[in-house]
Structure 1
Amino acid sequence: MTALHREWNLLSHGSAILPSHGREHNLSLVLQTLLTQGALSRAALSRATGLTRVTVSELVAELLHRSHVIEVGQQVGKRPGKPATLVDLNRPGLRIIGVDLSGILPSKAAIMDLDGTLIETFTLTGHNPEATGEQATKQLLELLDLALSNCSDPVLGIGIGTPGIVTDQGIVLNAEKFDWQDFDLRTTIQVATNIPTHVLNDADCAILAEHTFGAGSEHMILLSLGRGVGCGVITHNTLVRGSGFAAGELGHVRYDLTDQTPCRCGNVGCLQARASVPAIRQAIAQGLSREQAGQQAAAALASAIAPLISVLDIRNVLFTGEPEVVHHDMAHWLLEALKERTATAMADNFTLNISENPENLVLRGTAVNVLFQQLGIS
């Protein structure tokens, strides 16, 4: 089985402090090894993890009891004696439900396997795309009910990617799109479904997907254009969330104090008012050519993220969003604008690439988050 990512490209889990943490770390180590290497015997797991065979046998027994791993048959070989039994992640028996609330398009849910593969997707018909507050929450619950009613396998967890500032407890401090303020979204969903739920900012979900399944690396930035402007940051394989969980919130940064373009937040000169998908569409509708509107947005984006790239010495930038706006020309304009603003962008190993399969990036990132939170693997 092909490894999903390189050995140096695993999300950081921190160090163990208590004995119970050490055991959970070892359980995660076994699961991570199976995720990246596929089915292994207990002896092979011992060699791969550096744990004793007795410890591995105990850990596998516990994971079998939790239904996180399954036995998948016997190892084929020419060695004498009884063939070893192989164990693997419970790939056929566990599912993840993901929800993407990020886009201009209708919110979407998906049933996914443990490898982040989308099995089936769902959207609501007749929903209100401008819904806010309790109505938005009601539509989210209806969407989840639709996905769960079509999932016949046990669900490991629910992952939600939403715009806005989200704490590590799943509380949405502020989501302008839905008019959510200090809203405990995680508890709301868990009470309604009785399924472990994990909520994360949509741009953070997107960067987790690229880090695990795509063109990510140990140090990277993902720039996302949609209704707003989002940014995810990973350094030393650790997702940067910030002291107030607002890391990467670029949309309302005033990149140029002379710009008086009004923003829906009530301020003027916000990056979102110049470089979001609606802003670019509006610029074209007002008479700018596609190239002029794109270059104008690229210059604004570069002014905002060039200091970040320089300060963190980031050499890997992923660009994602609506394909009508985030295309190869736009990536070229952004790269040239960055080169004008920071020498880091002129380095030989600096890359700026468009994400593949942007439509499902947030959904797959919710799966990574569930795996990380529930099983300690990425």
Structure 2
Amino acid sequence: MSQSPRRVRTSSAVLPTDGRRQNLSLVLQTLRRLGPTSRAQLAREVGVTKVTMSDLVAELIEGGRVLDVGPAEHGGAGRRATLVDLDRGRLLTLALDLSVPARLKAAVLDITGAVVVLEEREADVDATQGRGLDPAVVIELVRSTIARSPAPVLGIGIGTPGLVDRHGTVRAAPNLGWTDVPLRELVAEATGLPVLVCNDSDAATQAELSTSPGSEDMVLVHVGRGVGCGIVTGGRRVAGAHHAAGEIGHVTVGTDGGEQCPCGKRGCLETWLSVPRLRAALDAADPEEGRAVVEAGGERLGVALAPLVAALDLSEVVLAGPEELLAPVVPVLERTLSARLLEDPEHPLSVRLAGSPQDIVLRGAAALVLWDRLGVV
């Protein structure tokens, strides 16, 4: 998997001889931010000469990344400037979300993160009964979605539950019934395309970073069939020594036992807090019983997160998942963290829902492909 992207400032251009690829990336990022722009304005924004910018734009046009879109509508005396823009119809990525094993999602997204094609596939998966996800189902979904894409895709990004190493092998994903599945290799061989595989919570975290530029130090908790989190310090995601930072779903919270988990242990965090569990609480005939489930889940999550927040001095805790299920968890989590952390009135901890939870894993996986292929975040 590629290195976690930092936020790149559009004023941080370097000499072409030292960082031409970075300057090309800065041009793409600027066009993504501003839309159709003249070469002269791009030169000012990126901080290079007009001659250098003309050379950079020519290379991007030749590579199918950028195209001329015609003269500006308004201008001063003389000839109107010709505008260039991203070739949005050709800068497509394919993303997969495996966070809900029984309902897999794949999408083709454009460079803005908009979904162009969406496919879903039901799968008969129940790891507790020995029915794991067949990787062939994932490959078939990839092929089917690619066939519907209006143009070739730059690459494939996959967000999956479990531990994923730097080679894109899923070392352990109890909810999928997977151990040492070489997912990147399997999909790359089947498609001939560049493939990135990451934990689904890391993908969700990258998507949140893209839509919340002020979030420099946070932990994002992605709640689906299981629970995982992505950690951000200094605006950059933390990977960890074995690319497993944030895998908290199978941490035992408390010493009072708990339900059996697909991983074989009892009382793992995701046995207390998950979308199926919260959905059952919402639909419970007895409101008190439903509230007790929410209270228990929020408190156990707070127990797991408090040491992390304190050790890394994080400023935000973000919950990503179905809003109607997670909204009641927020005050419980906030209360639990407040009781377990040293209060800093000058810098209070923010506990909130994700800004754009819709398709958050798909958008994050696509964003990682854009960074890897184009240097665009």
TM-score range, shorter chain: 0.7 to 0.9
RMSD of aligned C-alpha atoms?
A: 3.0
Secondary structure of the corresponding residue to residue 124 of structure 1: strand
Letter in 1 for 2:140: E
TM-score normalised according to structure 1 size: 0.87
Question: Is 1:306 aligned to residue 306 of structure 2?
Answer: yes
- Cα separation, 2, equivalents of 1:120 and 1:338: 40
CA contact (8 A) 1:163 1:175 kept: yes
CA deviation string 1:180-210 (max 9, x = no partner): 3333212221221122221111001111111
Give the drift of 1:167: 2.6
Assess, with a 3 A threshold, how the Cα gap between structure 1 residues 215 and 17 changes in structure 2: closer, same or farther.
closer
In the alignment, structure 1 residue 42 sits paired with structure 2 residue 46:
no
SS of match in other structure, 1:241:
coil
Larger deviation, residues 106-115 vs 351-360: 351-360
Alignment partner of 2:209: what SS? helix
Partner of 1:154: 152
Amino acid at match of 2:353: I
TM-score normalised to structure 2 length: 0.87
Aligned partner of residue 123 in structure 1, secondary structure: strand
Query: How many residue pairs end up in the alignment?
Result: 367
**Cα distance in structure 2, aligned partners of 1:279 and 1:135:** 21
Verify the 8 A CA contact 2:299 2:336 in the aligned structure 1. Answer: yes
Kept after mapping to 2: 8 A contact 1:263/1:273: yes
Mapped contact 1:255–1:271 kept (Cα < 8 A): yes
Residues 185-224 of structure 1 correspond to what in structure 2 (within 5 A)? 185-214=183-212, 217-224=215-222
Q: What is the Cα deviation at residue 337 of structure 1? A: 1.1
**Kept after mapping to 2: 8 A contact 1:104/1:226:** no
The Cα of 1:135 is off from its aligned counterpart by 5.6
- Is residue 2:60 matched to residue 1:63? yes
Counterpart residue number, 1:24? 21
CA gap 1:31/1:103 in 2 versus in 1, 3 angstroms: same
Cα distance between partner residues in 1 of 2:298 and 2:189? 43
Moved more, 149-158 or 212-221: 212-221
Separation in 1 of the partners of 2:45 and 2:16?
A: 22
Q: Does 1:171 align with 2:169?
A: yes
Q: 1:344 to 1:264 in 2, by over 3 A?
A: farther
- State the identity %: 38
SS in 2 for 1:107: strand
Q: Which runs of 5+ in 2 are unaligned?
A: 1-5
Indicate if the aligned counterparts of 2:101 and 2:176 stay in contact, CA closer than 8 A.
no
Q: How does 1:104-143 map to 2 (within 5 A)?
A: 106-124=103-121, 127-130=123-126, 136-143=134-141
| Partner of residue 319, structure 1 | 319
1:75-125 CA-to-partner distances (Å, cap 9, x unmatched) read 233333332221122113322111110025500111211100112311125
CA distance change for structure 1 residues 18 and 172 in 2, over 3 Å: closer, same or farther?
farther
- Note the residue ranges of structure 1 that are not aligned, 5 or more in a row: 1-8
2:3: which partner in 1?
A: none
Distance 1:168 1:80, change over 3 A: farther
Deviations, residues 17-40 of structure 1 (Å, cap 9, x unaligned): 998872211111111111122222
* In 2: Cα distance, 1:229 partner to 1:346 partner: 30
Distance change in 2, residues 1:51/1:11 (3 Å):
closer
Distance 2:45 2:299 in 1: 48
**AA partner of residue 320 (structure 1):** A
Q: Tell me: CA distance 1:43–1:18, structure 2 relative to 1, closer, same or farther (3 Å).
A: closer
Please give the residue correspondences for 1:329-340 in structure 2 after superposition, counting only pairs within 5 Å.
329-340=328-339
Structure-2 residue corresponding to 1:6: none
